[in-house]
């Protein structure tokens, strides 16, 4: 049986920002403008181990993605 979506996140548009050992990943429905509050954003900090935090402390699609580094991560 062929899998029509071989990658689990292929249904989302993504924006990735890397600053040193910190990676920010945002995803949203395709066609979503970066300034529209429909993005889910996480921060992966590998400074001392690996720590993953979410913008606003949740996985809701309610953030903007113009500058991922300025969001509040909990």
Q: Could you report the per-residue pLDDT of 18-43, keeping only the tens digit for each?
A: 999 999 999 999 999 999 999 999 99
Q: What pLDDT shows up at residue 24?
A: 98
Confidence class for position 8, pLDDT limits 50, 70, 90: low
Scanning the structure block, which residue is given the tokens 């889910």?
40
Burial class (CB in 10 A: 0-12, 13-18, 19+), 15: middle
Q: Could you report the per-residue pLDDT of 44-72, keeping only the tens digit for each?
A: 999 999 999 999 999 999 999 999 999 99
The C-alpha atoms of residue 7 and residue 24 are separated, in whole angstroms, by: 19
Q: How much helix, strand and coil, in percent to the nearest 5, is found in the chain? A: 5, 40, 60
pTM to 2 decimal places: 0.85
For residue 31, the SS3 value is coil
């Amino acid at each position: 049986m062929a899998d029509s979506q071989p990658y689990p996140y292929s249904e989302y548009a993504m924006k990735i920002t890397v600053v040193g050992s910190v990676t920010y990943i945002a995803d949203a429905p395709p066609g979503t403008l970066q300034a529209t509050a429909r993005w889910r954003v996480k921060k992966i900090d590998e400074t001392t181990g690996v720590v993953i935090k979410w913008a606003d402390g949740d996985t809701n699609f309610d953030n903007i993605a113009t500058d991922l580094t300025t969001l509040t991560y909990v």
